Structure formats: structure tokens, C-alpha cells
């Protein structure tokens, strides 16, 4: 049967204490790694449209971001996206759509310049994630621009892409309905009339008319000529 000296007993006890300490450190490290792993699993941005730093030259209607895993859409999981210009004017609709791993919102861009996209989602690990990126809007020619809002719109509210009401009142155009002969529409004015004096009948020229004395003289001459002819004829008839 082995015998233990006081020195060997002290060494055995010291070895046991060291072993227990090392075992505790290993277990603690394992627990620490196990709890830290989920914090490293936040969903990351894989792609976006427009992309970060992209120069957009054609009008766009939506902005979308695709993540590395499906986003949470359970009750209480909030997904937000804003699109603002250089003056912090909002151009997003206020409504966001989550389709698996993709977040989308409608937009209506305004003046050319830099636009900032800000997003907030709940990752597949249950943690809230947010971030921003910038793209540039440079249309090749002047285009119709929308009016930005100075605060983020709620889904369903009026936003930059809402139809704008006309500010000028249009003047009604007179109706082209048929009007009965001899009557005028209520809003019509009578056409001006003109009286033409000394108008010559169609086909006549503006020649000066003969004076009355000349007409009388011509008639007398004709009658005298006829009388002379009659006298001559009667004389010839009287001759044997």
C-alpha cells in the first residue's frame, strides 16, 4: 500500500486546484463564445438599387436594399427607409415592403444632386440594424421635379410623388353646341353690323350717272329726228 509524504500531498492538492481553475476558464470561454456568436450574425447589406455611390441618370420609381438573410416581419418588427436630398427634403412614400431579404420603398426624386438612403430593419437574429448610403441623381436633361417634404411622411399620407393639384383656375371655353337660327347663346355678344351706302349692284362698275339735262337733250334730239323722217316720208307720199 503506497504511503504519501506531506510533500506529495501538497503537490497533489496544488495540481487539483490548478486543474479546477483551468477547467473553469475553459468553460467560461466556451460560454463566452456561445453568447457572442449571435451578436456577429447581424444581416449585412448585399446589394442595393441604386447602388452606393452610383450616379443615376434615368428617373427611378423605387429604392431597394437586399440583405444577407430574410428580415423579420413579426409583430413589433419595424422596417423603415427614407430618401432625402441635400436639403434634407424627403422623397420617399413612407410605405416600405419586405419581401424575404429585400426592403423596398417608392420614391420621386426632385432636383439633381446627392440623395441619402437611411434604413432600419430587424435582422434574422432578432437585433435591430440600421445604416445609410449615398447615390447621385444627375439627369441628362431638365426633367419635371417633385416637391420634397420637410418631414418624413407616414404610409398613406401625401408625399413627393402624390399628384399635384392645379394652382391656376382654368377659364371655361364657350360651348360649341348648335344654336338655332335667329338666337344667340347666353354668353355670346351680337356681331357688329355695317350699313353700306350707295353700294352698286353686283356686276356694275362705279361709272358716273348721266345728268338730267343731258338726258332731256338726247330725248329731244331723238324726237326731232323722228319728226324730220316722218315729214320727208309724208312729202314723198303726196307726190303724184
Tens of pLDDT along 24-70? Answer: 544 444 444 444 444 456 889 999 999 999 999 999 999 999 999 99
CATH of domain 45-137: 2.60.40.1220
Cell numbers placing 133: 448610403
Tens of pLDDT along 194-227? Answer: 544 444 444 444 444 456 777 788 888 887 887 7
Give every CB contact of residue 122 below 8 A, 6+ residues apart in sequence.
71, 72, 77, 78, 79, 128, 129
Distances (CA, A) of 77 to 58, 127, 137, 207: 33, 10, 31, 102
Cell numbers placing 217: 337733250
Give every CB contact of residue 190 below 8 A, 6+ residues apart in sequence.
184
End-to-end CA distance of the chain: give it in Å, rounded: 217
**What whole-number distance in Å separates Cα of residue 96 and Cα of residue 79?**
7
Domain parsing of the chain, residue ranges: 45-137
Tens of pLDDT along 87-136? Answer: 999 999 999 999 999 999 999 999 999 999 999 999 988 899 999 999 99
pTM of the predicted structure, to 2 decimals:
0.54
Share of the chain above pLDDT 90, in %: 42
Amino acid at each position: 500500500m503506497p504511503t504519501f509524504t506531506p510533500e506529495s500531498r501538497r503537490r497533489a492538492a496544488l495540481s487539483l486546484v490548478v486543474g479546477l481553475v483551468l477547467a473553469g476558464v475553459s468553460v467560461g470561454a466556451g460560454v463566452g463564445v456561445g453568447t457572442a456568436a449571435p451578436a456577429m450574425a447581424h444581416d449585412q447589406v448585399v446589394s442595393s438599387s441604386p447602388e452606393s455611390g452610383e450616379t443615376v441618370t434615368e428617373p427611378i420609381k423605387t429604392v431597394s436594399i437586399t440583405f444577407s438573410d430574410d428580415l423579420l416581419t413579426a409583430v413589433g418588427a419595424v422596417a423603415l427607409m427614407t430618401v432625402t436630398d441635400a436639403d434634407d427634403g424627403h422623397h420617399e412614400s413612407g410605405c416600405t415592403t419586405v419581401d424575404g431579404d429585400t426592403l423596398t420603398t417608392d420614391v420621386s426624386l426632385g432636383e439633381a444632386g446627392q440623395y441619402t438612403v437611411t434604413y432600419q430593419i430587424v435582422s434574422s437574429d432578432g437585433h435591430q440594424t440600421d445604416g445609410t448610403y449615398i447615390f447621385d441623381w444627375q439627369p441628362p436633361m431638365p426633367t419635371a421635379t417633385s416637391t420634397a417634404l420637410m418631414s418624413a411622411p407616414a404610409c398613406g399620407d401625401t408625399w413627393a410623388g402624390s399628384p399635384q393639384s392645379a394652382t391656376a383656375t382654368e377659364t371655361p371655353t364657350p360651348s360649341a353646341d348648335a344654336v338655332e337660327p335667329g338666337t344667340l347663346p347666353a354668353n355670346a355678344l351680337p356681331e357688329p353690323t355695317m350699313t353700306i351706302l350707295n353700294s352698286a349692284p353686283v356686276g356694275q362698275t362705279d361709272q358716273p350717272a348721266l345728268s338730267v339735262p343731258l338726258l332731256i337733250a338726247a330725248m329731244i334730239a331723238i324726237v326731232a329726228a323722228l319728226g324730220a323722217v316722218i315729214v320727208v316720208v309724208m312729202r314723198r307720199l303726196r307726190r303724184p
